Amino acid sequence: MTDKILIINFEEIYLKGKNQKIFIKQLVRNLKRKLVNYKDYLNFSKAHGGSYFIEIIKEIPEKTLQDIIFKVKNTPGITGFYVADTAGITLDEIVKKSVAHAKRYSEEFDSFAVIAKRINKAIPFSSMDIARSVGSDINKKLDKKVDLTHPDFKLFIKVRGDYTLIYSKIIPGIGGLPVGTSGKAIAMLSGGIDSPVATFMAMNRGLHITVAHFHSVPKTSLKSIDKVKMLVKKLTDYQGQIKLYLIPVLEIQQAIAKHSDSRLRLILLRRMMLQIGEKLAKEEKAKALVTGDSLGQVASQTLENMKATEEATGMLVIRPLVALDKKYIIETAKKIDTFSISILPHDDACSLFTPKSPETKARLDYVKEQYTKLDVETLINDALKKAETVLITDNDDISNDIFINHIKP
Ligand code: ATP
Ligand code: MG
């Protein structure tokens, strides 16, 4: 018999009609990939009403269970889940296992309620019998009092076909939509605070993300690339596996510095970035670009500048942070655990290149005029020829050594 069962809940709203099938199929595919290292312990069962069951089919070390819980918790599409104990369908065993389950949480509650349900109607005792027997044992053995209206602790007992589920605390998930259900996008990731949050938010709306990072090595250090890899590694906690493109832009920067109005440098560079992003999108069958722009956050993030930048591409540019306060962005960065990486010192491709007084209200016709002075096509193709790709997954541990080497917080 199975030892434990993860009862996974998802947002009801997405479970209407034929979307339900697509949603669950993608969610299970994502979970299987993330949990591949633990597959000997697991049986991916099927949907039961609004829930999906993963059975733990043999005894599992606590550490391994915690690793699995971490992965499930961070899988987009899951609103929350229970780690249920299982028992047979005799009253004795149900009581024994229920008390053992409650005992594990006994530090956390004084009052409790038992909510019992019998789906298997053939068993010779009622839901009331279960609630009464379990309730009185918890009361006696753990010295807790029954409170049916405002209990600190709710113990759920469900007798299904030939087994019983016993569960209590819900572990909250991150919600959202399963990665992949909304299609694919290319996220532009710098080493800063904002773009990792934007990337996460896009993933959490069901987009499968490929990351593009632009660097100016050897003008900038290799450490800044390690930092980006660390950020991507962290983001694999959510998506499971991410392809990272590392694109050198030093030559593009030099061309821009040589041929154009210095006030427009950043805008011209961003235009090239978007156009490169567009080429990657074709390659990856992605339908949008994601950036971490936030309106008014820095003097250059104005409507005029955003327009003058995105005009370079015909692609949809998604800016999840556009209307969010910095405070909220930082809170989210902390929640998804990218903040501590983002604040590590680094030299980025843009800061070394920023003019003394960058344009804050770019005029589109002037930007376009300056842009045509550059041999855009050649510059972009050269950069792409020199681009490298790295596949980063949540399951390989060696990456830690590779990445942390150079960077000491
Ligand atoms: P971040 O905190 O993400 O660096 P920011 O507030 O510093 O953003 P900008 O430097 O104006 O803002 O960059 C705006 C957006 O352009 C970034 O959020 C990111 O999506 C993209 N971007 C900037 N620099 C790079 C880079 N070197 N590689 C990839 N994308 C970049
Ligand atoms: Mg930045």
CATH code at position 156:
3.30.2130.30
Q: Which residues of 144-182 are buried (b: 16+ CB within 10 A; e: fewer)?
A: beeeeeebebebbbbbeeebbbbbbeeeebbebbbbbbb
| 288 shares a domain with 214 | yes
Give the Å distance between the CA of 220 and the centre of ligand 2.
14
The parent domain of residue 42 ranges over 4-174
**Where is pLDDT greater, at 87 or 351?**
87
Question: To the nearest whole number, what is the mean pLDDT of the chain?
Answer: 92
Which atom from ligand 1 is nearest to the alpha carbon of 348? 27
Angle subtended at Cα 383 by Cα 381 and Cα 386, rounded to the nearest 5 degrees: 110
pLDDT at 350: 65
Q: Starting from the CA of residue 299, give the closest ligand.
A: 1
pLDDT tops 80 at residue 16: no
How many CB atoms neighbour CB 35 within 10 A? Answer: 20
Residue 409: inside a domain: no
Amino acid found at 247? I
pLDDT tops 70 at residue 404: no
Block residue for tokens 């600190």 = 152
274-289 per-position pLDDT tens digit: 999 999 999 999 999 9
Range ranked top by mean pLDDT from 19-33, 202-216, 290-304 = 202-216
Residue 200 and residue 209 in contact, taking contact as beta carbons nearer than 8 Å: no
Give the Å distance between the CA of 195 and the centre of ligand 2.
8
Residue 267 vs residues 75, 264, 273: alpha-carbon distances, Å: 36, 5, 10
Q: Starting from the CA of residue 227, give the closest ligand.
A: 1
Residue 100: inside a domain: yes
Q: End-to-end distance of the chain based on CA atoms, in angstroms?
A: 47
Give the Å distance between the CA of 188 and the centre of ligand 1.
7
Residue 380: inside a domain: yes
Question: Residue 392: beta bridge partners?
Answer: 242
CA 24 to chain centre: 17
Phi, psi of 53 (to 5 degrees): -105, 135
| 256 shares a domain with 198 | yes
Which residue CA neighbors atom 12 of ligand 1 most closely? 293
| 133 shares a domain with 68 | yes
Residue 312: inside a domain: yes
| 31 shares a domain with 79 | yes
Q: At what angle do helices 250-259 and 376-386 cross, to 10 degrees?
A: 160
pLDDT at 47: 74
Q: Starting from the CA of residue 190, give the closest ligand.
A: 1
Say how many residues make up the chain.
Answer: 409
Which residue CA neighbors atom 25 of ligand 1 most closely? 190
Give the Å distance between the CA of 228 and the centre of ligand 1.
12
Q: Starting from the CA of residue 298, give the closest ligand.
A: 1
Distance (Å, whole) CA 263 – CA 5: 60
Q: What is the mean pLDDT of residues 69-85?
A: 96
Instruction: Determine the residue of 195, 305, 324, 326 to mutate for testing ligand 1's pocket, defined as the one with the most ligand atoms within 8 A of the Cβ atom.
Output: 195
Q: Of 174, 207, 225, at which residue does a domain stop?
A: 174
pLDDT tops 50 at residue 401: no
Distance (Å, whole) CA 55 – CA 72: 13
Binned at pLDDT 50, 70 and 90, residue 1 comes out as low
Which residue CA neighbors atom 22 of ligand 1 most closely? 190
- Alpha helices for 117-262 (secondary structure H): 127-142, 194-203, 222-239, 250-259
pLDDT at 300: 78
pLDDT at 49: 72
Give the Å distance between the CA of 192 and the centre of ligand 2.
5
Distance (Å, whole) CA 273 – CA 275: 5
Residue 282: inside a domain: yes
Give the Å distance between the CA of 199 and the centre of ligand 2.
14
Give the Å distance between the CA of 192 and the centre of ligand 1.
7
pLDDT tops 90 at residue 343: yes
Domains of the chain: total: 2
| 37 shares a domain with 164 | yes
| 204 shares a domain with 149 | no
pLDDT at 12: 61
Distance (Å, whole) CA 165 – CA 159: 6
Residue 245: inside a domain: yes
Q: Which residues contact 255 (CB under 8 A, 6 or more apart)?
A: 374, 375, 379
Q: At what angle do helices 194-203 and 222-239 cross, to 10 degrees?
A: 30
pLDDT tops 90 at residue 23: no
253-280 per-position pLDDT tens digit: 999 999 999 999 999 999 999 999 999 9
| 193 shares a domain with 165 | no
Residue 211: inside a domain: yes
Which residue CA neighbors atom 17 of ligand 1 most closely? 292
pLDDT at 135: 97
| 392 shares a domain with 363 | yes
| 9 shares a domain with 129 | yes
185-201 per-position pLDDT tens digit: 999 999 999 999 999 99
Q: Of 117, 149, 174, at which residue does a domain stop?
A: 174
Residue 131 and residue 138 in contact, taking contact as beta carbons nearer than 8 Å: no
Binned at pLDDT 50, 70 and 90, residue 403 comes out as very low
pTM above 0.75, yes or no: yes
| 377 shares a domain with 273 | yes
Residue 408: inside a domain: no
Nearest partner of 293 among 315, 312, 274, 314, judged by Cα? 274
Q: What is the mean pLDDT of residues 59-88?
A: 96
Which residue CA neighbors atom 23 of ligand 1 most closely? 190
| 137 shares a domain with 50 | yes
Binned at pLDDT 50, 70 and 90, residue 3 comes out as confident
Q: Which residues contact 316 (CB under 8 A, 6 or more apart)?
A: 287, 288, 289
- List all residues whose CB is within 6 A of at least one atom of ligand 1: 188-190, 192-195, 212-214, 273, 291-293, 297-298, 301, 348-350
Amino acid found at 173? G
Which residue CA neighbors atom 4 of ligand 1 most closely? 192
87-136 per-position pLDDT tens digit: 999 999 999 999 999 999 999 999 999 999 998 888 999 999 999 999 99
Q: Starting from the CA of residue 231, give the closest ligand.
A: 1
Q: Of 174, 193, 215, at which residue does a domain stop?
A: 174
The CATH code of the domain that includes 208 is 3.40.50.620
Which residue CA neighbors atom 26 of ligand 1 most closely? 190
Protein residues near ligand 2, an ion, with CB under 5 A: 190, 192
| 371 shares a domain with 260 | yes
Give the Å distance between the CA of 194 and the centre of ligand 2.
7
